Amino acid sequence: MAGGVNRKISAASARAHTRRAKQNSSFQLPPGMFTKALVALFIGFSAWTYQAIQPPPSKIIGSPDGPPVTAPFIKLSDGRRLAYKEHGVPKENAKHKIVFVHGFDSCRHDAVVAETLSPETVEDLGIYIVSFDRPGYGESDPNPKRTVKSMASDIEELADQLGLGHRFYVIGFSMGGQVLWSCLKYIPHRLAGAAILAPVVNYWWAGFPANLSTEAYSQQLQQDQWALRVSHYTPWLTYFWNTQKWFPASSVVAHSRDILSDQDKELMAKLEKRGTYVEQVRQQGEFESIHRDMIVGFGTWEFTPLDLENPFPNNEGSVHLWHGADDCLVPVKPQRYIAQQLPWIHYHELPGAGHLFPHADGMCDNIVKALLTEG
């Protein structure tokens, strides 16, 4: 009788056999599949990032998909349209002709000097004022090549095409005030005088003491500090940063009241009329208006206001710098320093005033009279 063979299997052998079975039955990716998956993920993320940082195309005025043309305009030498609005006495009868430059997130209708100047002052001094939409705002064509210098050129062309004469006055408010530094640099021979109202400061201008720039910069809200950093160091991210929802973006873009002084909050009631035209301000898109303003205004300049020379060495005109001592949007200390370094500037610091001081009753009469009558 044949007997069966008894084989004893050790516990260690059983465990090894089980491990080999599990290893043989586990799922394995084809060779190189993991690397290909990572590459695909990277490409997908890159494509999403590229789309996120790309601003939508502008809705050009007068184009099939753009807003209609409603304002008078000139054609600049490069073919762009520059829309404008006239105020005051007829140009032909004017004794003094002024170009007004509006501020950030504004348009030709936001000509505070023209809107608040008393009729008596306008008539007595024979004042004509033209305000215009800066590139990308209102009904002026965008200028993707906009620079600090190009703004001065636009103003000079506007004056020439409107026949304002060899010399004319300029008044600028806030970001428009910053533009006037470029006028003093590039077209000083065309100016009869300049009034710079609460001009925005570029904290990276050469010549500012480091401690002064740091102190003034740190007075900004944290979210505004980041918005300015992005505009200066990574301008290609400006659109993305100010439209993303993960972190607080610019409080100025968001029209936050947290950056207003007590006087500014009181003066806000005077801005209610903006409701009739505020939609026109960004109607061509945000990137070529407010975001381009930030990129140019806080970018790297090819000059610093601190190096400017007196455009009126024979007192044939004057430059005035006005600023509110309680301005929470643009700190006052950099303005004081500029005035100290440029003693030919007539510096007017207003105690208790904030950023919106030009809207205070009677203020623009004082500003214009100082500009037109002080040598």
54 is a domain residue: no
Q: What are the C-alpha distances in Å from 175 to residues 101, 110, 375?
A: 8, 13, 26
Residues 308-333: what's their mean pLDDT? 96
160-201 pLDDT, tens digit each: 999 999 999 999 999 999 999 999 999 999 999 999 999 999
32 is a domain residue: no
14 is a domain residue: no
107-143 pLDDT, tens digit each: 999 999 999 999 999 999 999 999 999 999 999 999 9
Q: Domain range spanning residue 160?
A: 73-373
Q: Please give the structure tokens belonging to residue 185.
A: 């640099």
pTM of the complete model = 0.86
CATH number at residue 97: 3.40.50.1820
Q: What is the dihedral sign for C-alpha 333, 335, 338, 343?
A: negative
Written as one string, the DSSP assignment of 166-177 is: S-EEEEEETHHH
220 is a domain residue: yes
Close Cβ partners of 187 (under 8 Å, ≥ 6 residues apart): 152, 153, 155, 156
353 is a domain residue: yes
Q: Is 95 exposed, middle or buried (0-12, 13-18, 19+ CB in 10 A)?
A: exposed
Q: Is 316 exposed, middle or buried (0-12, 13-18, 19+ CB in 10 A)?
A: exposed
44 is a domain residue: no
15 is a domain residue: no
364 is a domain residue: yes
